[in-house]
Amino acid sequence: MPEPPPDLAAERRRWREFPRERPREIEPAGPGQESVWDYPRPPRVEPVRERLRVEHAGVSLADTTRGLRVLETASPPVYYLPRDDVRSELFVPSEHVTFCEWKGLARHWSLRMPGRERADVAWSYPEPDREYELIRDAFAFYAGRVDACWVGEERVRPQAGSYYGGWITSKIRGPWKGSPGSAAW
């Protein structure tokens, strides 16, 4: 894995203390729906009851009934699929590394299929912070970088922006981070 930023503790403090604001227009959640503004900070990890699937170019990349999701204020859920339920032979480590002030350093993965290479379609936490041990080595996928991701029978929409990887379903109400003007959320 590439080298982490020189002072992770300072970077963690900076992001945890970043002044946050709520948008003026928050969509109300109806029966059976969830508002991203009711999700906690720091984030929470919880099991997923529905089947999770990821597909690209007619190939099943991942399929599980043992998924987890991470819920964090202002973002759609990020789904983590156990490595054992991912076709990991189709992925190679990327040089791209990101940092989460809660979970730690994430390694990114590129998809390598004959004639179909896609950079940084997934990420994982090989050494997550203690509170997020449940997601160690599980894969999270950017829904906009593969052909389709599914929660149960619902095809998800990707969270806007190049950094966030939340999966948007009809049960989730926003607005959420990633769109223009949301940097302070």
On whether residue 53 sits in a domain, the answer given is yes
Indicate the DSSP class of residue 86: B
Q: Over pLDDT 90: what percentage of the chain?
A: 79
Show Cβ contacts of residue 89 under 8 Å, excluding neighbours closer than 6 positions: none
On whether residue 7 sits in a domain, the answer given is no
Q: What are phi and psi of 165, to 5 degrees?
A: -125, 30
Checking if the pLDDT of 92 tops 60, the result is yes
On whether residue 184 sits in a domain, the answer given is no
Checking if the pLDDT of 6 tops 70, the result is no
Q: What is the mean pLDDT of residues 56-78?
A: 97
Residue 123: which of 151, 164, 155 has the closest Cα?
Answer: 164
At residue 25, the 3 state secondary structure works out as coil
**Residue with more model confidence, 18 or 134:** 134
Work out how many domains the chain is built from and give that number. Answer: 1
- What's 88's domain CATH number? 2.170.150.40
Residue 155: CB atoms within 10 A of its CB come to: 15
On whether residue 13 sits in a domain, the answer given is no
Show Cβ contacts of residue 170 under 8 Å, excluding neighbours closer than 6 positions: 33, 154
Residue-wise pLDDT for 98-132, tens only, equals: 999 999 999 999 999 988 899 999 999 999 999 99
Show Cβ contacts of residue 155 under 8 Å, excluding neighbours closer than 6 positions: 148, 149
